[in-house]
Chains A and B, each alone.
Chain A
Amino acid sequence: MTAFFQNLGLPFEGAWLLSTVIGILLIALPVMLAVAMIIYADRKIWAAMALRRGPNVVGPFGLLQSFADGLKVFLQETIIPSAANKTLFLIAPIITFTVALMAWAVVPFQVGVVLADINVGLLYILAISSLGVYGVVLSGWASNSKYPFYSAIRASAQMISYEVSIGFILICVVLWAGSFNLTAIVESQKGYYGFLNGNGFNPLLFPMAIMFLISAMAETARAPFDLTEAESELVAGYQTEYSSMAFALFWLGEYANVILMCALNAVLFWGGYLPPFDWAPLYLVPGIIWLFAKILFFFFVFSWVKATVPRYRYDQLMRLGWKIFLPTSLLFVFLVSGFLMLTRYGGAQ
């Protein structure tokens, strides 16, 4: 795109700036729209599993419910508690929301269709997702209220714990692909057994795919790991003191993070923009459609789990993270690297 604007007579810097801004808008705006629709989908799925109707009033089938909610919170007054630390109180939701959008920069939608095709794409995602905890911690501290504070402490411990095992899971995938670049990782998943696309079909990586799905739920604090906003214990967790747009930013950021985790699931383990089968006619369908289909499937799994699995206790959550996921993922790092050493890199010399 930079070349296109350069042809229009702009200098390189101007063309680069313009094309980057357009690229960011081309990703951020559809993600926002997707978040609005996915909130609706979440409520519909949840309602269907509880034998309710869900949102069905605003627009056909209630499709415009999220936009009505958005308009409502937009018109509400932002209440800032008098004892709160005003600046940090307002910065916290902005951090959550911005960080949730930033990670999308390296997600490939098609070969070459990616905003920043960097060498260390996966590390970038790890780095950005490790920033997400600040929004929660700061909101809990700045609210100057006890339930948000408890929630912030819970959230930071939970996110750090699961980031460790997510790191090891990602290392397995990176070892297999031989690259940190997300496009290269997707391309490396072509043709398992000659007809399947996706690391998930690899017996050594399939357990990692399952663990990543569960860790992603814990990392985004979705049910059954939503202890940061357990309403029976902490009112609404770190969002308790928030209202109107500040609250909406948390909400949108949370769902944007969930979609990102679904996208990562698809990209790392189930072939990203590749079709599930390595069969020529399937490649005629644009890659972005396959990616979205996979994201929607994983989002359905997320809502399904939210609707059916009861919430964990905090000690159970920590036990799962530290005593089960961490040793298992570490074991698989050994297994994968050992297997690759024996087969791909010429054995023990």
Chain B
Amino acid sequence: MIHVIAFYLFATIVVCSGALTILSRNPVHSVLWLILAFFNAAGLMILLGAEFIAMLLVIVYVGAVAVLFLFVVMMLDIDFAELRAGFVSYLPFGLLVALVLLAEIVLGIGLWSVGPIELAQRAGPVNPELSNIQAIGALLYTRYIFLFEAAGIVLLVAMIGAIVLTHRARGGVRPQNIARQNQRRPQDAVRNVNQPVGQGVEL
């Protein structure tokens, strides 16, 4: 009973906030609705018993990705009227993308439930003794170790690429040498001068 109520609560909020992400006029509000959708999707995953994935969803998407997203959107100076202007011209393309995604979801679910390839490929029943994390770890570091490490290398390459693309050597920068700053003592920097009245100091 509680499960059913919770499912419909989370599901309704996910769908509504997803719709509001697209419909709201202010981009900051859009990001906030998106965050609400992420959060409630995590709730749905907890209902499925996938608490590890749910927590990762919140930590990674809500805690890091959406913050950076919000960060960028907050600082944009957006003319809302201009943003709305291209709506009609983008509409066919948007509909096409939506159609492709819909077709893929339908095909995916269809193959999963009725297709010929599924029975052999479907994972065996989960051992109820094992916690989520142990089950995922055992699979990730044995059967899928190559894919896992390849994903890591792809991310590393992407990170290096981003640094190379945005880094530019700037002239006239005076970098700080922290060790030298810490070694500096008062006697290196301050000097008492007994100067006669009415004369400037020669340094």
Contacts and interface: CB of A to CB of B under 8 A. Distances in A.
Interface of A: 13, 16-17, 88, 118-120, 123-124, 126-127, 130-131, 133-134, 137-138, 141, 149, 152-153, 156, 160, 163, 180, 315, 319
Interface in B127-151: 131-133
B55 A13 contact: no
Given A137-B70, A319-B178, A123 B52 contact: yes
A131 B60 CA distance: 11
Of A127, A152, A180, most buried by chain B (CB within 10 Å of CB) is: A127
A116 to B, nearest CB: 11
A118 B70 CA distance: 30
Contacts of A120: 51-52, 55, 132-133
A88 B1 CA distance: 34
Interface string B57-91: 01100111001101100110000000000000000
Given A119-B51, A131-B63, 13 more contacts: A13-B1, A120-B133, A126-B55, A130-B58, A130-B59, A130-B64, A133-B67, A134-B35, A134-B67, A149-B74, A153-B71, A156-B67, A156-B70
Interface of B: 1-2, 28, 32, 35, 42, 51-52, 55-56, 58-59, 62-64, 67-68, 70-71, 74-75, 131-133, 176, 178
Contacts, number: 67
Contact of A160 (B1, B67, B74): B67
B51 A126 contact: no
Contacts of B71: 137, 153, 156
21 contacts: A16-B2, A119-B132, A119-B133, A120-B55, A120-B133, A123-B55, A123-B59, A127-B59, A127-B62, A130-B62, A131-B58, A133-B63, A133-B67, A134-B67, A137-B67, A137-B70, A137-B71, A149-B74, A153-B71, A163-B64, A180-B133
